[in-house]
């Protein structure tokens, strides 16, 4: 566990030294939410109806932005080989990478979600559910994105292939997250949909790091 936390701490330190990726993801998320009133009109009812899907889609797209550099920069400077030779299992290293991506990208998006919710006229009583849904959905994306980044590492136009590989697998997270937000906005019970999101996290938590580790080893 010491080596695992060392890799995670390294990811956090790198993110703090170069905060541009985190800032770009948050700004993208907020700007997409701000564009919806211009695109569909200022009608509060229409915006509130579109808000659940718009929040989830914007959040997942924003979280995708830093993924193509998750392993790429380290592969270029040789530090990825050093990490693979450090004795830490590649799957555990991939899990640490996924945790670092969520803490530096998913968590800031979670904090920014009330701003986007207000821009989309989402009822205040649904803001907490929106944050929970976005948090769980971005965990799913971090896990899937880590596996996708490992699979496309070294591929030509890997930055183009990565979203095509990851986004279709993230569709259930968008469906369940949007359904949870819509239920909360309409005064209904959102817990079943949040539990389904939690089940997705539980499903991908062991599978995605193993797939990423196998791709990094070249199996």
Instruction: Output the CA–CA distances (angstroms, integers) from residue 199 to 4, 173, 193, 203, in the order listed.
Output: 24, 10, 10, 6
Q: Which residue has the tokens 């991506």?
A: 101
Six-digit token string for 65? 């932005």
- Nearest-Å Rg of the Cα atoms of the chain is 18
Alpha-carbon distance 163 to 12, whole Å?
24
Residue in 129, 176, 160, 140 with CA at minimum distance from that of residue 63: 140
pTM of the predicted model as reported, rounded to 2 decimal places: 0.90
- Please list the pLDDT of the chain residue by residue as tens digits (219 residues): 677 888 888 888 888 887 888 899 999 999 998 888 888 777 888 888 889 999 999 999 999 888 877 777 777 777 777 777 777 788 888 899 999 999 999 999 999 999 999 999 899 999 999 999 999 999 999 999 999 888 888 777 666 788 888 999 999 999 999 999 999 999 899 999 999 999 999 999 999 999 988 888 765
pLDDT at residue 219, rounded to an integer = 52
Helices 191-217 and 90-101: angle between axes, nearest 10 degrees: 130
pLDDT at residue 10, rounded to an integer = 83
Alpha-carbon distance 33 to 118, whole Å?
9
Q: How many residues does the chain have?
A: 219
Instruction: Output the CA–CA distances (angstroms, integers) from residue 105 to 22, 25, 158, 184, in the order listed.
Output: 5, 7, 20, 25
| Residue 7 contacts residue 93 (beta carbons within 8 Å) | yes
């Amino acid at each position: 566990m010491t080596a695992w936390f060392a890799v995670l701490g390294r990811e956090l330190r790198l993110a703090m030294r170069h905060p541009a990726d985190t800032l770009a993801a948050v700004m993208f998320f907020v700007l997409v939410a701000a564009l919806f009133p211009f695109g569909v009109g200022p009608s509060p009812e229409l915006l509130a109806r579109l808000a659940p899907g718009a929040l989830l889609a914007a959040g997942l797209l924003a979280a995708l932005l830093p993924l193509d550099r998750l392993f790429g920069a380290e592969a270029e400077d040789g530090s990825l080989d050093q990490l693979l030779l450090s004795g830490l299992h590649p799957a555990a290293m991939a899990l640490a990478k996924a945790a670092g991506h969520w803490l530096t990208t998913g968590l800031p998006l979670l904090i920014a979600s009330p701003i986007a919710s207000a821009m989309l006229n989402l009822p205040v009583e649904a803001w907490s559910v929106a944050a929970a849904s976005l948090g769980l959905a971005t965990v799913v994306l971090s896990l899937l994105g880590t596996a996708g980044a490992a699979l496309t590492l070294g591929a030509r136009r890997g930055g183009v292939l990565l979203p095509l590989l990851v986004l279709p697998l993230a569709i259930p997270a968008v469906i369940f997250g949007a359904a949870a937000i819509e239920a909360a906005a309409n005064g209904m019970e959102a817990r079943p949909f949040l539990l389904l999101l939690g089940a997705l996290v539980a499903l991908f938590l062991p599978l995605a790091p193993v797939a990423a580790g196998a791709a990094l080893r070249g199996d």
